[in-house]
């Protein structure tokens, strides 16, 4: 399993900027991979690979880390509260990264309601099927 400290470093560098841009309704920086991780196999860029979640075990370890989950749930709640849709904030296809991230963490941390809330509010309650397939593999 990869070192989860890469996410702490990413959040420390980009969290405030990310939340500010989410609230403004427009992502300007290149931080989505660090703030909203998804399964590694879903990404193609170097950043997506570096910050991608390897497997269910790594996702569960991330979800068990209170500091990481505070950042992730805070950023997710910022989207919900922003008055903007993920498509407005991130554009296509980056909005799909939000769906993939929410699906991943809803599956490994079902008690954390913010992930289900964002899927219900912006994605008709539909999970990212590729993420579910990767978790089952």
How far apart are alpha carbons 25 and 87 in whole angstroms? 10
3-state helix, strand, coil in the chain (%, to 5): 70, 0, 30
pTM, 2 dp:
0.93
The tens digit of pLDDT for each residue in 4-17 reads 888 888 888 899 99
Mark 18-34 as b/e (b = at least 16 C-beta within 10 Å): bbebbeeeebeeebbbb
Q: Which domain holds residue 41?
A: 5-136
How do residues 66-125 score in pLDDT, each as one tens digit? 999 999 999 999 999 999 999 999 999 999 999 999 999 999 998 889 999 999 999 999
CATH number at residue 129: 1.25.40.380
Provide the pLDDT confidence category of residue 47 given band limits of 50, 70 and 90.
confident
- Residue 1 in this model has a pLDDT that exceeds 60: no
Mean pLDDT, residues 46-50 = 85
Number of independent structural domains in the chain = 1
**Using alpha carbons only, how large is the chain's radius of gyration in Å?**
13
Q: How far apart are CA 14 and CA 31, in angstroms?
A: 6
Cα distances (angstroms) measured from residue 66 to each of 70, 109, 113, 137? 6, 12, 15, 27
């Amino acid at each position: 399993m990869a070192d989860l400290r890469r996410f702490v470093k990413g959040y420390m560098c980009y969290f405030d900027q990310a939340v500010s841009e989410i609230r403004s309704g427009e992502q300007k920086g290149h931080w989505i991979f660090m703030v909203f991780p998804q399964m590694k196999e879903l990404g193609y860029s170097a950043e997506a690979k570096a910050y991608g979640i390897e497997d269910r075990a790594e996702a569960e370890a991330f979800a068990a880390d209170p500091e990481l989950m505070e950042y992730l749930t805070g950023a997710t709640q910022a989207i919900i509260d922003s008055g903007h849709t993920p498509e407005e904030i991130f554009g296509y296809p980056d909005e799909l990264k939000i769906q993939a991230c929410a699906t991943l963490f809803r599956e490994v941390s079902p008690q954390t309601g913010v992930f289900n809330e964002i899927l219900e509010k912006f994605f008709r309650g539909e999970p990212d099927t590729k993420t579910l397939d990767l978790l089952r593999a």
